[in-house]
Amino acid sequence: MKALSIFLLTLGFLILLTANSFSDVIFEDDFETGKLDKDKWVGAASWKIVDNVEGEPVLGDYVLDVLGGEEGLGVQEFPEDYDYYADFRSMNGLSGFIFHGQDASNIYMHQISVTDSAYTSNNTRWHRKVAGTYTAEPEPFQNNVKKEQLVWYRTKFEVRGYHFKMYLGVVDAEPKDLTLVGEWTDSAKSFKQGKIGFRMSGTEYAQYDNVAVTTPSYNFAVDYSDKLALAWGEVKIQK
């Protein structure tokens, strides 16, 4: 009887663990149509879809190329809690990611600043922009992490209302292999939810690919052996 009870408890735990190992995909774009999807992005005038010249298989044929142009937003509104994934490379120091965007003047914008950046290299540059004015709170990457210009990486942001955690890894890393490099809370509680996007200012230049937003999960298991559409399609969608 005792052995049966232990078995049932173990089985229940395994079922619970498995159930928590998947997320719903609520947004994705790998830019493989070769043009900007206006149903997904408003974007900025500087946004272009260009050939993947690096040959990274996970990037497919096309990537999003952003040279300056300031803020560009998506169309979809997201809840206050989600996980945000993207592949990126900084061409000259910075990559900028937008969260909880209300409009171009009211957003969270967090930059990944890599080695040789003109702005606090190897930092997460946490930003809030309220009524058109930015406030920056840069923090060095945890654990002495170093990232380079002209190299593709994968990032994950865990967005929980006003609290953010950021992870980094190689471009084809599974989420469990990404490293926590920083976290930040907006004590002012400026924006509870909104849109995602990218922001590059002046001569700031970066490229992006494989953008995905999922419901929160800390054990998100995805096979990245093929392009985004196939890989996300292999995720167990719970309805």
From start to end of the chain, where are the E strands? 25-29, 48-51, 62-67, 70-73, 81-90, 94-103, 106-113, 123-130, 133-140, 153-160, 163-170, 179-185, 195-200, 205-214
The answer to whether 154 and 58 have CB atoms below 8 angstroms apart is no
What's residue 216's pLDDT?
93
- pLDDT per residue, tens digit, the chain (239 aa), is 444 443 333 333 333 333 444 679 999 999 999 999 999 999 999 999 999 998 899 999 999 999 999 999 999 999 999 999 999 999 999 999 999 999 999 999 999 999 999 999 999 999 999 999 999 999 999 999 999 999 999 999 999 999 999 999 999 999 999 999 999 999 999 999 999 999 999 999 999 999 999 999 744 444 434 444 434 444 433 33
Distances (CA, A) of 129 to 73, 100, 108: 14, 11, 6
Q: What is the predicted pLDDT for the residue at 17?
A: 33
Q: What is the pTM of this model?
A: 0.84
Q: Are 207 and 65 in contact (CB under 8 A)?
A: yes
Q: Write down the pLDDT at residue 55.
A: 85
Give residue 14's pLDDT.
32
Q: Which domains does the chain have, with CATH numbers?
A: 2-233 (2.60.120.560)
pLDDT at 22: 62
Whole-angstrom CA distances from 12 to 5, 16, 222 are 11, 6, 23
pLDDT digits (tens, 9 = 90+) for 31-76: 999 999 999 999 999 999 999 998 899 999 999 999 999 999 999 9
Q: Using CA atoms, how far apart are residues 96 and 203, in angstroms rounded to an integer?
A: 13
Per-residue pLDDT of 216-232, as tens digits, reads: 974 444 443 444 443 44
Residue at token pair 């890894």: 169
Contact of 99 with 177, CB cutoff 8 Å: no
